[in-house]
């Protein structure tokens, strides 16, 4: 139970603002291959953050509003995003799951416009094109390798190990649910960032309600509708902020 992690005022604020506090335990990475993988992860994460900013600039004002309206975060032509985490989740949706009138998302448009891209930026963009977001259960974490093991709750597939410095540092993260996009590279797997986190006690509600939510979405493809559904369910069942203690 998360209740055991909280006490007094901190517990009250956590429940009110849907914050999850994860106790962390740091360990030294001794394995040479693991160290190389973590260095690669850090490099990809840094380049990816800069690339996200470039991708978001490809969207025009109308498209930004259409994506926001789909998620239910547009009011009086203004985005209603209360935190950096909310902005990250919206941005991830807008650049990956919003499709224009020609059936292209921002990734495809950016690659067509900038056909001279190479190196890690090209690798990230190609991985984004191949990726599909889904709902996963975290079934294992390993601090030394900075990895967590994910089990896909929506598709029949083998469990997948990904590098995640934050989640892997806390043993309490096991059994939490996360809606995220997994990117695969030659040596490692990682997320695109901006995960939506839910407690294990919401699993039944999520799995019983997401399809009905999808049926009400009138834009995009199945991936668009899936992401909208889990975003809306996150508003009710998810944790909106992660704090490491």
Q: For position 22, what pLDDT does the model report?
A: 57
Task: Please give the Cα distance from 205 to 237 (Å, whole number).
Answer: 9
Question: pLDDT (tens digit, 9 = 90+) per residue, 162-210?
Answer: 999 888 988 889 999 999 999 999 889 999 989 999 999 999 999 999 9
Summarize the confidence of residues 41-66 as an average pLDDT.
Answer: 94
How far from chain centre, in Å, is Cα 205? 20
How far from chain centre, in Å, is Cα 59? 20
Q: For position 208, what pLDDT does the model report?
A: 97
Residue 45 has pLDDT above 50, yes or no: yes
Chain-wide mean pLDDT for the chain? 87
Handedness of CA 29, 33, 35, 38 (dihedral sign): negative
Q: What is the pTM of this model?
A: 0.87
- Judge contact between 226 and 214, C-beta under 8 A: yes
């Amino acid at each position: 139970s998360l209740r055991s992690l909280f006490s007094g005022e901190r517990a009250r604020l956590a429940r009110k603002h849907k914050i999850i506090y994860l106790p962390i335990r740091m360990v030294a990475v001794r394995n040479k291959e693991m160290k190389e993988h973590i260095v690669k992860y850090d490099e990809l994460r840094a380049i990816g953050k800069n690339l996200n900013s470039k991708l978001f600039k490809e969207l025009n004002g109308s498209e930004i509003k259409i994506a926001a309206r789909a998620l239910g975060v547009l009011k009086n032509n203004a985005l209603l995003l209360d935190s950096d985490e909310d902005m990250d989740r919206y941005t991830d949706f807008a650049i990956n799951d919003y499709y224009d009138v020609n059936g292209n998302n921002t990734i495809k448009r950016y690659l067509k416009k900038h056909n001279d891209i190479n190196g890690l930026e090209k690798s990230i963009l190609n991985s984004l094109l191949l990726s599909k977001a889904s709902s996963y259960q975290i079934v294992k974490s390993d601090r030394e390798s900075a990895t967590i093991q994910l089990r896909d709750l929506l598709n029949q597939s083998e469990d997948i190990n990904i590098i995640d410095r934050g989640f892997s540092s806390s043993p309490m993260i096991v059994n939490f649910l996360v809606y995220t996009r997994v990117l695969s590279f030659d040596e490692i797997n990682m997320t695109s960032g901006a995960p939506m986190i839910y407690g294990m006690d919401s699993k039944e509600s999520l799995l019983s309600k997401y399809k009905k939510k999808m049926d009400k979405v009138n834009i995009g493809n199945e991936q668009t509708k899936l992401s909208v559904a889990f975003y809306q369910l996150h508003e009710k069942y998810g944790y909106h902020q992660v704090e490491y203690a």
